[in-house]
Structure 1
């Protein structure tokens, strides 16, 4: 894992296309950061990206690393309460740290959590990625109309689902993210409101250079309206990224076209 992470880190700093892409986004968010510091950060971002992908590819093994995960936050209790009441729940996170650590914690506690994912065009990558995600918990729901129907059915049966809300969606709403407008999906908040289930932000922060994580379940976002709830999540994730920017996957083209 470390060798793969170092390789991706090297590419992120020294491969021109990757370096320019990362540097462009960093300049957008932290324009006052000196260039040498940005270049070091690019390498650290790439290194963490490589480790995260390697762990997802080998998610069966990753599930057995419970002794390397610390857990905190009031959101876990809210999820346990929802499960005891036979209610579903939505766990919202981003491409931050090792997001699969969140589902690993829940699965180990008898709260298996499905996930929403975007199918990939590369067949090899798609096969390996899907197998890894499925090892973390089912059902795995693809984006799109068919996936949405399956997702709603799962939630109505009292199921848990994890959604990464930091990807650009063409039918999203312009909302502030890291200080800039970004197209953001309101789907998670709308489902939470419609089915009266908790929407809990959660993060799996990588600690140090290896596979050790701090999983924190924040308090459920108070129910209000979809815009307010989604902005609350954007603010929550933004704070995490600004605190430890090397933990976020900056290659998402989050602000493209805006």
Structure 2
């Protein structure tokens, strides 16, 4: 509360530290970014879902390779697939840019995409989540940044009466509000990753909710693990919870079936190990998740988000 007015302090906060207010320069930059995001969503929303997705894909594969982060994407592909010829590396990265551009455009159409009557999302294996749908048992479903990864949280909200999706909000609070508005079309609850997410994950288990998480990005405080044989600190919160409460992790493979169209396949669960101490069991479960991610990436490499520094710093210094 503001001591001078008695009303909530609505000034933006700097995400670098709790309670630190953003300066005027950063606030102006945030507002400019939010205005650009709003215009983008309005422009894409004026098109049909298919045309918006196609335009986003064209922009992604046209502009993306010109950005500095394209070097990170190509380095990641080389680290994961060291025997690939360079033309194939560039082909995978270009497809990834296409997918990223499509995903950005599809935020404006998540309501239409998730509308069951549209047939834009098809499911298989979702009967495996029936205990959570019936409210009888807490369940954890997980995926990675494939195709349009926002479909995971939206699907969980549609399938189960109680769902919690752990998300990564943009650092810009004004952009975060626009993104949240798009994500909320299917209902459910979304919690930004961090300490609050850990508390809400435990509460979701007590509430017998369906918990949806993405487990493929690097966390500086993550558990030591490997991906494609490379050291890669990995998220462990879901695995810790699964081992502690003996809750299976359900891999959810999301594939792009066309512009603004997706297949969601709920695969057989990864059961938490019980034959060792909790720390060892957690590491084994994280390793199993990473192995599944490798399988998905190998099958459709152009649909994964390669533009993120997934591996440890020494891997990029060779």
Question: With structure 2 as the length reference, what TM-score do the two structures score?
Answer: 0.73
Alpha carbons 2:133, 2:160 under 8 Å: kept: no
The 1:121/1:84 distance shift into structure 2, 3 A limit, reads closer
Alpha carbons 1:89, 1:192 under 8 Å: kept: no
Alpha carbons 2:128, 2:266 under 8 Å: kept: no
The 1:158/1:151 distance shift into structure 2, 3 A limit, reads same
Residue 128 (structure 1) aligns with: 178
Unaligned runs of 5+ in 1: none
Structure 1 or 2, whichever has the larger Rg, is 2
Residue 267 (structure 2) aligns with: 218
Residue 61 (structure 2) aligns with: 9
Shift of 1:24: 1.3
CA offsets per residue over residues 210-257 of structure 1, 9 Å max, x none?
122221111110121211111111111111101110010011211142
Whose RCO is larger (CA < 8 A, sep 6+)? 1
Residue 37 (structure 1) aligns with: 88
The 1:111/1:204 distance shift into structure 2, 3 A limit, reads farther
Shift of 1:50: 1.1
Residues 8-87 of structure 1: matches in 2 within 5 Å?
A: 8-13=60-65, 15-64=66-115, 67-73=119-125, 76-84=126-134, 86-87=136-137
CA offsets per residue over residues 17-44 of structure 1, 9 Å max, x none?
1332211111111222222222222221
Q: Does 1:238 align with 2:288?
A: no
Q: Post-superposition, which runs of at least 4 consecutive aligned residues in structure 1 deviate over 4 A?
A: none
Q: Which moved more, 1:195-204 or 1:245-254?
A: 195-204
Q: Which moved more, 1:29-38 or 1:177-186?
A: 29-38
Cα distance in 2 for partners of 1:178, 1:130 equals 33
Indicate the SS of the match to 1:255.
coil
Cα distance in 1 for partners of 2:290, 2:197 equals 24
Question: With structure 1 as the length reference, what TM-score do the two structures score?
Answer: 0.89
Residue 220 (structure 2) aligns with: 170
Indicate the SS of the match to 2:68.
helix
Residue 154 (structure 1) aligns with: 204
Shift of 1:127: 2.2
**Root mean square deviation of aligned Cα:** 2.1
